[in-house]
Amino acid sequence: MPVIWLIDAYRAGERGQVRALVDALGWPCEIKVLSYHSHLFWPHVLGQTTLRGITAESAATLRQPWPDLVVSCGVRNEPVCRWIRAQSGGHTRYVHVGRPWASLDSFDLVITTPQYRVPQHPNVLNNMLTLQSVTPQSLVLARSEWAAAFAELPRPYFAVIVGGDSGPFTLGPKAAARLARQASRLARKHGGSLLVSTSSRTSEAAVVALRANIDVPNYCYRWQSTATANPYLGILAWADRLIVTGDSIAMLSEACATGKLVQMFDLGGMRGGGPASRDFRLSGVLYAVLMRWFWQPLSRDLTLVHSQLRESGRAVWLDEEFAAAMTPVESDLQRAVAAVQELLEEV
């Protein structure tokens, strides 16, 4: 049975992706959590094969016997994974999830999504959505756990999953108020209620505007880092339809994994137009300039994912209607697992 090292991602969203992949593979896995030299950026910028970017204590944990497979995500981990493969004499296979920064030939397999605009390559698997761990089994458990919390609210339930600022798109008070009004209008039309969850990226101003403009029965969870119980999975399990802000491909991926109707909320500008009154954010304007005039790998284009979701019938915008969700025969996670298995068969 193959042995896996997971060089853990240092950002929460990416961490969920790589852990979902190794869990789905079902092979023995050792998780390596590294510490980095914040002032050293040349190893990953120059695409080197080295441990110079991590601390001596972290480097000491990377010793033979070398694994059959190393899985990771994030630019700082790229030099480390290439070093492990080199130390194994080429035996270890290196699978990178998300945006690759080095030459595609320096990976054995890259599992990525459209917003990174990775070109076609023999080593690249272009999935539509990110890897995630929402399964029928996890939804059944969450449905049971959160049944009492939503029991007094009228059906149907409309989930409202709220993210935050992302690249050129801003989720401020104006967008949050517009989301609350549109979602409330939809729930009122059907005699239902809203199950709302904010996230770690939702600003205080957006939370205040969102809650002030909801005028139908609702359950509203305000994300907290210290919370002992998070209803997010319960909301996914109980919702009859899901509304997700278009800034988060991870949240859209988890919503689509339920097989239910998914509608995307346009923060403003995600479809080229949008409302005349938008939230202003200087960094968002600068990011838009970066996307338009600078080297593409420095930015990501979320609208490419939105377009593919609509074309495939897996999601529509909040002001659009559709009859039924289209669920692919093979999920993105299943495709990723199959690609990894095929890679190891070549060893």
Considering the domain architecture, whether residues 214 and 97 belong to the same structural domain is answered as: no
Residue 309 in any domain: the answer is yes
What's residue 275's pLDDT?
65
Q: Same domain for 206 and 257?
A: yes
Domain co-membership, 164 together with 85: no
Residue 347: its pLDDT value, please?
61
pLDDT computed for residue 41 by the predictor: 78
Of the two residues 11 and 56, the one the predictor is more confident about is 56
Please tell me whether residue 171 adopts helix, strand or coil conformation.
coil
User: How far apart are alpha carbons 226 and 59 in whole angstroms?
Assistant: 31
| Spatial separation of the C-alpha atoms in residues 206 and 213, rounded to whole Å | 11
| Phi and psi, residue 94, nearest 5° | -110, 115
Q: Is residue 39 situated within a structural domain? A: yes
DSSP string, 230-280: --HHHHHHH-SEEEEETT-HHHHHHHHTTTSEEEEE--SSTTS---SS---
For residues 93 and 165, state if they share a domain.
no
How many folded domains does the chain comprise?
2
Range of the domain at 249: 146-314
Q: How confident is the model at residue 33 (pLDDT cuts 50, 70, 90)?
A: very high
What's the average model confidence in pLDDT over 295-312?
88
pLDDT tens digits along 74-127: 999 999 999 999 999 999 999 999 999 999 999 999 999 999 999 999 999 999
Q: Does residue 141 fall inside a structural domain?
A: no
Task: Give Cα separations from 211 to 45, 151, 172, 222, 224 (angstroms).
Answer: 43, 21, 13, 10, 16
Q: Are residues 185 and 306 in the same domain?
A: yes
Please tell me the predicted confidence (pLDDT) of residue 171: 96
Q: What is the pLDDT of residue 43?
A: 77
Given a cut of 80, is residue 46 above it in pLDDT? Answer: no
Query: Is 323 within the bounds of a domain?
Result: no
Same domain, 197 and 262: yes
pLDDT interval class at 278 (50, 70, 90): confident
pLDDT of residue 209: 97
Q: For residue 319, is it within any domain?
A: no
**Dist. CA 339–CA 341, nearest whole Å:** 5
pLDDT band at 272 (very low <50, low <70, confident <90, very high): confident
pLDDT value at position 296? 76
Kindly state whether residues 128 and 157 are assigned to the same domain. no
Arithmetic mean of pLDDT over the chain: 92
Instruction: Note whether residue 211 is domain-resident.
Output: yes
Whether the full predicted model's pTM is greater than 0.75, yes or no, is: yes
